[in-house]
């Protein structure tokens, strides 16, 4: 019998298996196909590779607008896809080798729960026994009701990453991180972007001021933005996609549906365990991420934070909990988030919509920051939220602001005061000094 059996080899499952191995627990990891999960294979890593490969296009455009020079960069998309595949496979191999060195047994199979200590392996028709079971099967793309992805005209985010040609016009439904990052990538390659958001704010999970700044930026770049509207109908007509909105119809060469994600709980055998699901069908957990006796749910599948680094952190925590190295509750936990591309967006802690009336706001513009100026950028700000003279939230939008996220997280976690910020010298010229400016107000 294993000390712990983990179903799902994404960021959460890998981190749990690695930590369990380091702690000397007899551990098994069950992954039906690809180690690394969505993050490595179809999410965080490929999208950042794509954005990095197209950054020169945007840099040249910035320099041209400033009349500092001209130039051209032409991306070889098929070669980019090959490079992605090479890097992803190499990382999958590295994950497997790391776990094997730690004594973790890896089963390439589909696991489902028979009871609280028994897992059935579909392909090998065998079972595994575990004193503790960690569920880490993540999420998958959510489609609109009655709509099927076809990989050519109506795309999931995974399918969009496999396109070998660039659509002249790309409609995107949803302005969360996936919609914005994929929109930036295809915009750099020349696609006209039509962005449709059902809510009245772009990046609706972010601070309202962030959404307003983002809208202003994208409109300057001629993105066609539709806020507060839903696509009533999407259909393929010939070589085009026709989207019917309440007030008008839109034609595009392809449509990316990026309206969120749903948990991978089908065929997991949850009906055999006395656990509960949330209204959105995520697995409900307690403050220690426990779903039932000896069963934990980590990462996207519990619906708390659909972020790879949150899944990894939860995986390590639960492994330490099982090993007796951790006793404190996991929740509540401070989890930072980033959206990449241009402009970048960060958020940690509270937003204005989370606060009551008794709070304060301080800001710093990035327009005069020398590092932002050096990159040809001219937009953005850092925003700090205060309660009782302590920092409770930081958000920012602008070039390279993702570089601030760890320092911002430390500041919010420790609820800095202005006096705390004055204890440290912030190097010049850096992006960080604008964070200090925002704090000192």
Show which residues are catalytic: 428
Q: What is the 3-state secondary structure (H, E, C) of 42-108?
A: HCHHHHHHHHHHHHHHHHHHHHHHCCCCCCCCCCCHHHHHHHHHHHHHHHHHHHHHHHHHCCCEEEE
CA atoms within 13 A on the CB side of 171: 26
Q: Give the integer Cα–Cα distance in Å for 149 and 23.
A: 43
* Residues in contact with 356: Cβ distance below 8 Å, sequence separation at least 6, in sequence order: none
- 3-state SS, one letter per residue, for 17-40: HHHHHHCCCCEEEEECCCCCHHHH
Phi, psi of 347 (to 5 degrees): -155, 130
Give the integer Cα–Cα distance in Å for 382 and 398.
Answer: 8
* 191 Cβ contact partners less than 8 Å away, ≥ 6 residues apart: 166, 167, 168, 169, 170
Q: Which residues contact 85 (CB under 8 A, 6 or more apart)?
A: none
Provide the H-helix boundaries in 113-257.
157-160, 177-188, 208-220
How far apart, in whole angstroms, are the C-alpha atoms of residue 364 and residue 379?
11
| 326 CB-contact burial (10 Å; exposed 0-12 / middle 13-18 / buried 19+) | middle
């Amino acid at each position: 019998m294993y000390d712990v059996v983990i179903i799902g080899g994404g960021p959460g499952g890998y981190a749990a298996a690695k930590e369990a191995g380091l702690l000397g627990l007899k551990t098994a990891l069950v992954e039906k196909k690809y180690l690394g999960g969505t993050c490595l294979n179809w999410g965080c890593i490929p999208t950042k590779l794509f954005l990095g490969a197209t950054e020169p296009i945007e840099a040249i455009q910035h320099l041209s607008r400033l009349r500092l020079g001209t130039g051209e960069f032409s991306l070889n998309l098929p070669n980019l896809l090959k490079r992605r595949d090479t890097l992803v496979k190499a990382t999958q191999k590295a994950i497997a080798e790391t776990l094997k060195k730690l004594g973790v047994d890896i089963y390439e199979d589909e696991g489902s729960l028979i009871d609280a200590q028994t897992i059935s392996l579909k392909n090998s028709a065998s079972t595994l026994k575990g004193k503790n079971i960690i569920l880490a099967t993540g999420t998958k793309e959510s489609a609109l009701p009655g709509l099927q992805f076809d990989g050519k005209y109506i795309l999931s985010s995974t399918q969009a990453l496999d396109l070998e040609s660039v659509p002249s016009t790309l409609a995107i439904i949803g302005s969360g991180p996936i919609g914005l990052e994929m929109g930036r990538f295809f915009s750099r390659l020349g696609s006209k972007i039509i962005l449709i958001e059902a809510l009245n704010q772009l990046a609706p999970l972010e601070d309202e001021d962030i959404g307003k700044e983002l809208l202003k930026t994208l409109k300057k770049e001629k993105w066609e933005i539709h806020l507060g509207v839903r696509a009533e109908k999407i259909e393929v007509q010939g070589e085009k996609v026709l989207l019917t909105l309440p007030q008008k119809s839109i034609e595009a060469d392809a449509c990316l549906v990026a309206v969120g994600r749903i948990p991978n709980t089908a065929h997991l055998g949850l009906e055999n365990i006395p656990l509960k699901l949330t209204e959105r069908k995520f697995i409900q957990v307690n403050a220690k991420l426990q779903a039932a006796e000896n069963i934990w749910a980590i990462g996207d599948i519990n619906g708390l934070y659909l972020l790879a680094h949150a899944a990894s952190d939860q995986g390590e925590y639960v492994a330490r909990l099982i090993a007796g190295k951790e006793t404190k509750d996991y929740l509540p936990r401070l989890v930072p988030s980033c959206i990449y591309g241009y402009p970048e967006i960060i958020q940690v802690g509270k937003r204005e919509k989370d606060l009551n009336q008794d709070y304060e706001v301080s800001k710093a513009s990035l327009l005069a920051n020398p590092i932002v100026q050096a990159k040809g950028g001219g937009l953005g700000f850092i925003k700090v939220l205060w309660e009782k003279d302590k920092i409770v939230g930081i958000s920012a939008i602008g070039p390279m602001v993702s570089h601030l996220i760890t320092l911002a997280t430390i500041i919010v976690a420790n609820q800095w005061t202005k006096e705390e910020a004055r204890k440290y010298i912030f190097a010049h010229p850096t992006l960080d000094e604008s964070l200090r400016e925002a704090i000192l107000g």
